[in-house]
Amino acid sequence: MSDKIELVDLQTQRQRLGTRIDKAIAKVLEHGAYIMGPEVEALERELVASCGARRAVTCASGTDALVLALRALDVGPGDGVFVPSLTFSATAEAVVIVGATPIFVDVSEASFTMNPDSLVAAISSSAALGCRPVGSIAVDLYGHPADYSELCEVSAVSDLWILADAAQSFGATLNGRRSGAIVDVTATSFFPAKPLGCYGDGGAVLTHDDALADLVESLRQHGQGADKYENVRVGMNSRLDSIQAAILLEKLSIFEDELAARQDVARHYADLLDGVVGLPSVAAGATSAWASYTVLVEDREAVMARLEADGIASRVYYPTPLHRQRAYQSLPAAPGGLPVTEELSARILSLPMHPYLDAGAQARIAESLQKATGGRR
Ligand SMILES: *Cc1c(COP(=O)(O)O)cnc(C)c1O
């Protein structure tokens, strides 16, 4: 039987980089500045150059990037923050960590991202919830930017900010702007399987706002003032290791090429799978970073079993929306509930997606899906 096709392939990328990563790590071991070493500053400069944000402040994870951004936005007890339910738990978790209340909002059928109409409805109902609405976290699910033009317009009317959860979308674009520079404040993740990943945990806050970036720099290192032994506020320990920064610098040097390869893979999937499964759509003016290639199927269990039997990995991101999770089910949601989230979570299925997925593997995946669905959707 032919080789198993995995969801993500990090080994081919490692082989492509040859000894570069080993050498970059060895350099950190030699100079010994494991924490806040020169690689961290160099990476922050490269991230700024890559996405066009004014500042990049790295930290220990994407989850911490959300927490740091929320703390810098002065979010705390009594505040309500609108979040989608169709997302990774960290989006809502960060809001709870800072003591505020997540309010779940539905997503749009076409984009899988926060629905501006549902946000309007949630804003108008939030007074009754006993918390003060302050802003939203929009999630660029599967690598596709949220509908920021609409979301920003709706938010501005009520004087609310928007924080972008771009954990899956580093490299995506919207109307000529890169993820990280689309709205004022963005949190991203360098978890290994994200479009730009390190070999451990890592994240960054990207922003156009100098004052906010200064605050995040202080918060990530124990609320430091002039240095970490002067504490001007209560912060946390959330720095990116120098070794992870060194790895990310090497990976950034091939990132544009990998993004282009992901676009090719996505285009090829769209050709192969048209009429076989429900295809992900890309909004006008947007490009996706294709963190995953997520399609819609009817009899998901059967489709997954067929793929598995044919040696093809598939996964449901995410099988249970947050408003149905034990930890979050008591939290408020937009009036009318979250029908699109419910409907999509029963049908979504993520297929293998990475820059090194070749045409032969994609043909095998398409053939297996064809068998499973009988060519119907
Ligand atoms: C991965 C992810 C996070 C959290 O990032 P970590 O680096 O794993 O902490 C947050 N939000 C979304 C949407 C994610 O996919």
**For the segment 76-106, what is each residue's pLDDT rounded down to a tens digit?**
999 999 999 999 999 999 999 999 999 999 9
Angle 90-96-102 from CA coordinates, rounded to 5° = 85
Distance 372 CA to ligand 1 centre (A): 31
Query: In the predicted model, is pLDDT for residue 157 greater than 70?
Result: yes
Does residue 139's CB lie within 6 angstroms of at least one atom of ligand 1?
yes
Whether 140 lines ligand 1, by a CB cut-off of 6 Å, is no
Report yes or no on whether pTM surpasses 0.95.
yes
Per-residue pLDDT tens digits for 273-308: 999 999 999 999 999 999 999 999 999 999 999 999
91 CB under 6 A from ligand 1? yes
Is the C-beta atom of 63 inside 6 A of ligand 1? yes
pLDDT band at 236 (very low <50, low <70, confident <90, very high): very high
Q: Return the ligand 1 atom nearest residue 191 CA.
A: 7
Query: Residue 167 gets which letter from DSSP?
Result: T
- CB of 88 within 6 A of ligand 1: the answer is yes
Q: Which residues are CB-neighbours of 226 under 8 A, at least 6 positions away?
A: none
Report the alpha-carbon distance of residue 116 to residue 170 in Å, rounded. 22
Q: Which residues contact 278 (CB under 8 A, 6 or more apart)?
A: 295, 296, 297, 347, 377
Percent of the chain topping pLDDT 70: 99
pLDDT at 168: 98
For residue range 161-208, list pLDDT tens digits in order. Answer: 999 999 999 999 999 999 999 999 999 999 999 999 999 999 999 999
190 Cα–ligand 1 center, Å: 9
3-state secondary structure at position 205 = strand
Percent above pLDDT 90 for the chain:
95
Is 377's pLDDT higher than 60?
no
Residue whose entry in the numeric block shows the structure tokens 């629905």: 115
Tallying the residues shown for the chain, one arrives at 377
Cβ(267)–Cβ(259) below 8 Å: no
CA of 276 to the centre of ligand 1 (A): 30
Pocket test for ligand 1, best of 59, 144, 163, 168 (most atoms within 8 A of CB): 168
Mean pLDDT of the chain: 96
CA-proximal residue: ligand 1, atom 2 (nearest):
167
84 CB under 6 A from ligand 1?
Answer: no
CA–centroid distance, 366 to ligand 1, in Å, is 29
CA terminus-to-terminus distance, the chain: 28
Q: Does residue 203 line the site of ligand 1, with CB under 6 A? A: yes
With tokens 């976290």, the residue in question is 137
Residue 354 has pLDDT above 60, yes or no: yes
Instruction: Decide: 291 in ligand 1 pocket, CB within 6 A.
Output: no
The residues pairing with 277 across neighbouring beta strands, listed in sequence order, are 274
Residue nearest to atom 7 of ligand 1 (CA): 62
Q: Is 62 in the pocket of ligand 1 (CB under 6 A)?
A: yes
